[in-house]
Structure 1
Amino acid sequence: MTTIYGPPAQARPVHDRFFAHAEPGRGADGGPGGVTRDLCAAAYLDEGFAAAATDEVLGDRRRAVVPAIGYDLVLVLRHCLRARRLWLARDASLVLLLVVAYAAHRQATLTALTFAVYAATPALVRALRRRGTAVRHVIVAAAAFVFLAPMALSLAGILPLLAALGSDDPERQYAAFAELAAADPKAALAAAVVIAVALFAVCAAFRATMLATRLDADGPRAGSPAAEHRLAVVGGAQNGNVVLHSGYSPFPGAGPVVRAWSIALELRADLDAGGGAGPVPIDPVQLNRHVKRRLAALQSPALPERERVAGLALRDQIVASGTRWHGYALVDQQRQLPYSLAGPHAVEAVIRHPQAGARHFLRATVGADSAPVRGAHGETLLAAEDQGKVLSSFVHIAVEGGMLYVESVTTVLGPVRARFRAFERYGDSPGALAAAALGAAIRDAGPAVLLAPWRLARAGAGAVRAWRRADRADREHDREPLYDYGARADVRQLASRPEPASYVQALDAEKYAKLLERRISEAVVGFLREHRVDTAEYETRINHIHNESVTIHGDNHGAVAAGTGARAAAKERS
């Protein structure tokens, strides 16, 4: 789907038809499948992702939202909220079971925790290896953890008994001797096994509940009216075209910058084409629209299906820093919320005023879709695949002081991490689901049992911090003249690789970057020629940028060097 004049979102006029809040709805280019499904699955496979996504978007009700490209942000957040509730319920269940078991049989509970320590050793080794620790350090740390932790747990059960035996209280000593006499190693071991199996069953049950979640529905309820209200705001903002960013980068969620170039050109008349004297007046709005139409032609129905650029989307974006004084036009002062949609008149006004604090970019995005391979008679040989990567080209065009300025910044966001696509392997097979739940429980039961008390305490402390942070944000917003409304990250970027997953994907990113840049340059040159502007200087510079070459007109009698690090020296001949 190619969007020519902005995202298909309806606006409620708020600020004299210039800026508005987009109406709630699904993602413009996303649905319940593809990237949306992978991000929903990530919430149930990685507790850290679910926490980071909800904290980023729902943690501050005034924070701007990055427009979602190719996925439905609201559906992802609904599953993140449900996943966090399930993670919390699992930890609470484990802690409650440990408390009850410890009250019933202390030594058996400590023995069960010893089993958990041994089960957690592979996870410890994997964590240390991911952080780049040397192999011998991993072995030493794992061995120390394996052998010292069970000893500490055993001492935790014996020391109170030894203290009772050394006491001067006869009743306490008698109780300690009675406990020693009643101790049955076989019964204690059997009780420990029962407790360990119960803990494992809790982990497996919650893992099966998570993996059995249907990701193609409308999503679960948020759980609170405040969260539902915020999700309604997010549902509109994800289809918007206004981006208030926090920090240095004006392209949150687009990935790292891989290519960037800019050209400044004097708008002189082309005397050979019959132009007059003085600078040629150029309307930057008309030039932007011309570039947009030429980019949209890459997916024109007039082209054969095999030649169309699949997954191309075009949209206007108004970008501005999110740290603003009260009364800023892009922030609704009544609702204390950034506007998410700029109307056509506002977009044109920003394009014509390039020195303003807000800047216009034409964003051309080539998504993860690919075209199918068809035979001579239309039969499908290879189905279309989801490549996962997203390439974005941000084009800024400005006319100032009788000069034209063209800027292009290309970013690439890698595919969603492979481990978040595990749901695709389960399908609707109960056997595959049960096997996956058991495998995950075997892998995660040890760390889950040992870390459950800490995670439960952390969740409680996090809830308190979130409440205090919201209260502090309200006070800072009312007291301080400046407030940071900007978005800091995009949910898709939190779950994606920072680079392409393979060399072929890197080559594809390079290909589409050059296709877009070439079409942008040709569109600018064609528009300038139509308005009788001398384009010789522009063509020379753009040829050097695209091809890293030099065009020489006429004879050359000296040394020539081109490209990074190139050298040339002239030698005299006798």
Structure 2
Amino acid sequence: MDVQTGSPPSTAFFHHGPGGDPRTGPMQNLTRYLCAAMYLDKGMCDAVLKEYVYESYRAVVPSHGFDLEPVIRHARQARRMRIVRDVLIVGLWPALLTLSPLYVLFHLGVLGYLTALFRVPWRRLSWRTRIGLAVVVPALILVAGLALTAAALQPGATASAGEWLGFLVSGLIILAFASAMTSGLFAFVVIGHLTLVLRRLARNLGPGAHGPGPDVGGSARFGNALAHVRASQGGNITLYAGDNPFIGAGHPHSPDARIWSIALELDRKAANPLGKPAPSGTAARSVIVDPVVMHERIRAKLHEMRDELPQQGGNGQRPPGDGGERPLPPNERINGLVTGWHVVARGRCVQHQRPVDDLTPGHYSGHPLVDPHGRVPFSAASEAAVEAAVRHPQGGIRCFQRVSIGAQGQSIRTPDAVVVAPAEDQDAVMSAFVHLAVEGRMLYGLFAATVLPPVHPVFKVVDELPGWRGGKVLWKAIRIGLPSVFVAPLLAPSRLAAALWRIARETFTAETAPDPATEFVHDYGSRISVRELAADADFQDFVQEIDVDKYTRLIERRVNEALLDYLGDECGIDVSAYRTQAGVIMNEGVIMTGGTVHGQVAAGQRVQQRQSGAGGTGGGRGGRINP
């Protein structure tokens, strides 16, 4: 990648993360839950391995509040355990065929019927259909089994009625005994696999478990994938393949998202001390409105809710209006508040040689966010790159200031520091993104708050497992795996073939994939976020909704006040229309559209903080385990 104009290479502005060795300390709770999901949700496990192991040129979504490397390690281990289970089940069928081919046909019919029983929507069926499935079909299977047994025993043509009755009784006993033995063998494999999974979850993923997870051996592919994840997951760049630039933090089109925007004329000066407005387009033209400084003011205002003392501004001075407030007491600090840059671009990158723009001579080849050596996307943008992108909002790289609240809770203490209750993690995560653009002597500001519902409760079983004794683990495995005792033997051959085919196909595709550098356009964007895949379909209680609404409004007010203080007090711009309509947004929760030419507040797609469930962020699993 080079620019034939003498400008510095993109590596001066974008780079990879530090990487380093795997983290070996205690894992965060969210990391443990996501690792457990790899054993309990086969579809999620396959998606993680495909995205991060076999798509070596894909960007990695920044991991906020968890470590992605242990998730990949446990995903590989979970897939291996499933393959071993299916191999053992498939190996039982040839043994049964050797003993009695006719009985295998009967048992296949029984398994098919029981599998259908677990999957048929009984409430949607008529009463005739229910009777047929509950009575007629089992009777036909039984008659077929007795006929096969009679054919195997070969009673004589002149056998009496008593002899025929004896053959039928013998056939029933043989069928019952054979079915019990065969089902027992399959149950031993299925329940044994699930028991081992639960024991592994208890031993390796219980509270206080340490990383980084199972050893990947000498696999070069997995080693390279883990190194790429370590170097990328802590960055501030998001290359996205879909329509969501906030992937990993929730979707802006979900009903829980809150979006509003402002458009403000910067040429109109505020009123003088006598209350008379200045002539339009006079002194305010000499004021430079810097979006980078606005972001600094917003950041300082937000940090005042978390830090003991107000932050200093970017010039080493405290922001205007700071009168030396009292230190913030620990009980009033929002400990889980984290700010940072969120640099986004579409993953579909143009790489062929092209002009820089209409005004700059020379040509540009490659893409600034993709490393020319190895064709791996960069994960971190320097401060110089961020500031340049903020001041050039019409480019292909957009910058948001991100503020997230979640995960880290706070203990409850008395004034004399006696612990009343320990800290608990906040399951739901709220993220707010602020984008500012100064163009044509106008200011455009966007506020987008997105929500990630809590992790699905099924994956939190690792908090309980260490306290289960051996008998309880076995009983839970039987309760969870009972449907699989009948389904797994029937589906194991196809599942094993599909798993082996998936591994072979993905490996072949990865080995034979062309170098992205040879393509004019290549999609490097992230397609999944593990945190979003593991999210529940909705909040789990009303308190979580209250917390999300509370922090959204607190951040929203701080952002508005920081902008109003900077534009009105420091720059002397008339912000009266903005202040009026911002007050409507913050106090009434309604996004207004309209206003005067001096300022405008435009509505997003959602007009209230809370409408319904969190559609689009979670998988909507109904609590069933798919090991």
Q: Note if contact 2:59-2:526 (Cα within 8 Å) is conserved in structure 1.
A: yes
**Does 1:505 find its partner at 2:544?**
yes
1:292 counterpart letter in structure 2: R
CA–CA distance in structure 1, aligned partners of residues 478 and 329 of structure 2: 49
Letter aligned with residue 17 of structure 1: A
User: Does 1:303 pair with 2:328?
Assistant: yes
Are residues 535 and 142 of structure 1, via their aligned partners in 2, closer, same or farther at CA, if it must alter by over 3 Å?
farther
In structure 2, how many angstroms separate the alpha carbons of the residues matched to 1:160 and 1:123? 28
Instruction: Tell me the residue number matched to 2:619.
Output: none
| TM-score in terms of structure 2 length | 0.75
Instruction: Tell me if structure 2 keeps the 8 A contact 1:114–1:149.
Output: no
Match 1:199 to one of 164, 171, 186: 186
Question: 1:380 Cα deviation (Å)?
Answer: 2.5
Q: Structure 2 counterpart of 1:435, which letter?
A: W
8 A Cα contact 2:434 2:445, kept in partner: yes
Equivalent residues in 2 for 1:487-526, closer than 5 Å? 487-526=526-565
- Distance in 2 separating the partners of 1:67 and 1:243: 7
After superposition, give the CA deviation of every residue in 1:392-449 in whole Å (9 maximum; x if it has no partner).
Answer: 1000112222222211101001001111112222215433323322332324222222
Task: Output the CA distance in 2 between the equivalents of 1:543 and 1:239.
Answer: 36
Q: Which runs of 5+ in 2 are unaligned?
A: 1-7, 155-166, 309-326, 352-365, 591-602, 608-627
- Residues 11-51 of structure 1, C-alpha deviations (whole Å, 9 max, x = no match): xx9944311111225899x9613111111111111212211
**Counterpart in the other structure of 1:368:** 407
Partners of 1:118 and 1:16 in 2: CA distance: 62
Deviations 1:451-505 (A, max 9, x none): 1111112112322432454367x23835541111111120110010243222321
Which residue in 1 is equivalent to 2:236?
241
Change (3 A) 1:355 1:228: same
Are residues 390 and 115 of structure 1, via their aligned partners in 2, closer, same or farther at CA, if it must alter by over 3 Å? Answer: same
Cα deviation code 1:241-273 (max 9, x no counterpart): 000101212111211331101111122333526
Question: Which residue of 2 is the match for residue 57 of structure 1?
Answer: 52
- More displaced 10-residue stretch of structure 1: 307-316 or 112-121: 112-121
Taking the TM superposition and a 5 Å limit, the aligned residue runs for 1:100-111 are: 100-110=95-105
Q: 1:156 to 1:281 in 2, by over 3 A?
A: farther
Is the 2:375–2:517 Cα contact (8 Å) retained in structure 1? no
Partner in structure 1 of residue 262 of structure 2: 263
Q: Which amino acid aligns with 2:42?
A: E
More helix by share: 1
Letter in 2 for 1:384: A
Query: In structure 2, what residue type is equivalent to 1:270?
Result: A
CA contact (8 A) 1:351 1:398 kept: yes
Q: Deviations over 1:514-540 (max 9, x none)?
A: 110100111111222123333223212
Deviates more, 1:485-494 or 1:186-195: 186-195
Aligned to 1:220: 214
Deviation at 1:187, TM superposition (A): 4.7
Which of 380, 390, 393 pairs up with 2:419?
380
**Counterpart position of 1:293:** 300
Q: Indicate the SS of the match to 2:125.
A: helix
Moved more, 362-371 or 217-226: 217-226
CA distance in 2, matches of 1:72, 1:150: 55
Maintained 8 Å contact 1:279/1:402? no
Aligned 1:527-538 pairs, distance under 5 A: 527-528=566-567, 529-538=569-578
> What letter is aligned with 2:330?
E
- Gap change, CA 1:120 and 1:390, over 3 Å in 2: same
Distance 1:443 1:97 in 2: 19
Distance 2:301 2:449 in 1: 18
Task: Give the Å deviation of 1:360.
Answer: 0.3
Q: Please identify, of 302-311 and 57-66, the stretch whose mean Cα deviation from structure 2 is larger.
A: 302-311
| Cα distance in structure 2, aligned partners of 1:478 and 1:24 | 24
Equivalent position amino acid for 1:493 in 2: E
SS across alignment from 1:333 = coil
CA offset at residue 313 of structure 1?
1.2
Q: Distance in 2 between matches of 1:440 and 1:463?
A: 27
Structure 1: segments with no counterpart, 5+ residues: 1-12, 166-179, 551-562, 566-574
Helix, strand or coil at the partner of 1:22: coil
Counterpart-to-counterpart distance in 2, 1:57 and 1:63:
7
Distance 1:396 1:110 in 2: 65
Q: Supply the distance in 2 between the matched residues of 1:27 and 1:488 (Cα, whole angstroms).
A: 24
**Correspondence for 2:612:** none
Of the three residues 71, 74, 78, the one matched with 2:69 is 74
Once residues 89 and 138 of structure 1 are traced to their aligned partners in structure 2, the CA distance between those partners, rounded to angstroms, is 42
Q: Is the 8 A contact 1:267 1:279 kept in 2?
A: no
Residues in 1 aligned to 2:127 and 2:240: alpha-carbon distance in whole angstroms: 41
CA RMSD in angstroms, aligned pairs only: 3.4
In structure 2, what is the equivalent of residue 554 of structure 1? none
> For residues 137 and 299 of structure 1, do their structure 2 counterparts lie closer, same or farther at Cα, with a shift above 3 Å needed?
farther
Q: Is the 8 A contact 1:107 1:157 kept in 2?
A: no
Q: What is aligned with 1:324?
A: 349
Q: 2-side partners of 1:407 and 1:198: how far apart?
A: 61
| 1:378–1:122 CA distance, 2 compared to 1 (3 A) | farther
Aligned partner (choices 481, 495, 505) of residue 455 of structure 1: 495
**Given the alignment, which residue of 401, 414, 439 partners 2:479?**
439
Query: What TM-score do you get using the length of structure 1 for normalisation?
Result: 0.81
Give the distance between the partners of 1:397 and 1:458, measured in 2 at CA.
49
Q: Is residue 334 from structure 1 mapped to residue 373 from structure 2 by the alignment?
A: yes
1:197 partner SS:
helix
Number of residue pairs the alignment of both structures matches:
518
**Distance in 1 between the 2:450 and 2:127 partners?**
37
Residue aligned with 1:389, SS: strand
1:225 positional shift = 1.2
Query: How many Å apart are 1:450 and its aligned residue?
Result: 1.8
Cα 1:318–1:138 change in 2 (3 A) is farther
Q: Is residue 51–residue 528 contact of structure 2 (8 Å, CA) maintained in 1?
A: yes
Label 1:279 to 1:441 Cα distance change in 2 as closer, same or farther (>3 A): same
Separation in structure 2 between the aligned mates of residue 297 and residue 427 of structure 1, nearest angstrom: 40
Q: Determine if contact 2:53/2:221 at 8 Å carries over to the other structure.
A: no
Provide the C-alpha distance between the structure 2 equivalents of 1:484 and 1:454, rounded to a whole number of angstroms. Answer: 32
* Alignment partners' CA distance in 2, 1:277 and 1:228: 58
Task: State the partner residue of 1:272.
Answer: 272
Contact kept in structure 2, 1:63 and 1:337, CA below 8 Å: yes
CA distance in 1, matches of 2:396, 2:412: 47
The C-alpha deviation readout for 1:365-411, integer Å capped at 9, x for no partner, is 01133322223433332332223111010001122222222111010
Aligned to 1:533, what secondary structure does the other structure show? coil
State whether residues 265 and 403 of structure 1, in contact with CA within 8 Å, keep that contact through their aligned partners in structure 2: yes
Where 1:397 maps in the other structure, the secondary structure is strand
The CA distance in 2 between the partners of 1:138 and 1:95, in whole Å, is 37
Q: How does 1:105-254 map to 2 (within 5 A)?
A: 105-110=100-105, 112-113=107-108, 116-117=111-112, 120=115, 123-125=118-120, 128=121, 134-136=123-125, 140=129, 144=133, 148=137, 151=140, 186-187=173-174, 189-213=176-200, 214-215=204-205, 216-217=209-210, 218-223=212-217, 224-254=219-249
Match of 1:465 among 499, 502, 505: 505
Alpha-carbon distance in 2 for matches of 1:95, 1:333? 47
Deviation by residue 1:516-574 (Cα, 9 ceiling, x = unmatched): 01001111112221233332232123123223499xxxxxxxxxxxx999xxxxxxxxx
The answer to whether 1:354 aligns with 2:393 is yes
Deviation at 1:333, TM superposition (A): 2.2
